[in-house]
């Protein structure tokens, strides 16, 4: 599924995105607040070395992937692994309390705010208390659309342990990819 917006990003596009994903009102409000932050912040300028400055210009996109393009390999039965759409239906509080709050708040910078407003794909990895995952958990993200905004939320409960490897690929039409990986670790994890 793709969301097209030939006239740029605006509140109506964000509302349509939230409607297509059948999100609760709090998620729509989170998206709209992030969009307001995005509009209010300057584009970042980075300085590398002596006199080398990189100036990012506005992101211009025509469409956004809403397809779940995140695959997980070597999954053990002990962990909870769900896409954000399923979490919103049966474990909403986990997402409401942890998504883009502690690790990466939307007001961190302009592109983080844009990501929070437009995320299209997300996955939760919850490692239960006292769980030790022996084999690495491999996450593959395939960005084959014009733009994709992917979220991986990892919550490691107390005294848990896991190795996570992320593989990221992009297709020929991909102009912009934003991957946010939030890792929340509890005591001794």
Q: 32-82, pLDDT tens digit by residue?
A: 999 999 999 987 766 565 665 555 555 555 555 545 556 665 566 678 888
How much is the pLDDT for 138? Answer: 83
How much is the pLDDT for 173? Answer: 65
CA distances from 14 to 8, 50, 88, 161 (A): 11, 40, 17, 37
pTM of the predicted model as reported, rounded to 2 decimal places = 0.80
pLDDT in tens, 6-23: 667 889 989 988 998 889
Alpha helices per DSSP H over 91-135 = 92-98, 110-118
Relative to beta strand 147-156, strand 121-127 is parallel
The backbone torsions φ and ψ at residue 85, rounded to the nearest 5 degrees and listed phi first, read: -60, -40
Q: Indicate the average pLDDT of the chain.
A: 80
């Amino acid at each position: 599924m793709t969301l097209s917006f030939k006239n740029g990003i605006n509140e109506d596009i964000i509302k349509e995105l939230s409607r297509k994903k059948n999100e609760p009102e709090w998620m729509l409000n989170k998206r709209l607040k992030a969009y307001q932050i995005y509009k209010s912040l300057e584009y970042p300028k980075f300085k590398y070395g002596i006199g080398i400055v990189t100036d990012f210009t506005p992101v211009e996109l025509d469409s956004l992937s809403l397809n779940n393009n995140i695959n997980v390999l070597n999954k053990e039965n002990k962990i909870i692994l769900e896409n954000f759409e399923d979490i919103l239906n049966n474990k909403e509080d986990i997402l409401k309390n942890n998504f883009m709050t502690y690790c990466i708040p939307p007001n961190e910078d302009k592109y983080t705010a844009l990501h929070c407003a437009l995320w299209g794909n997300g996955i939760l990895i919850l490692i239960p208390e006292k769980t030790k995952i022996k084999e690495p958990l491999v996450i593959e993200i395939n960005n084959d659309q014009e733009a994709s905004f992917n979220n991986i939320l990892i919550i490691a409960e107390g005294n848990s342990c896991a190795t996570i490897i992320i593989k990221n690929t992009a297709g020929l039409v991909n102009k912009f990819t934003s991957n946010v990986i939030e890792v929340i670790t509890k005591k001794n994890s």
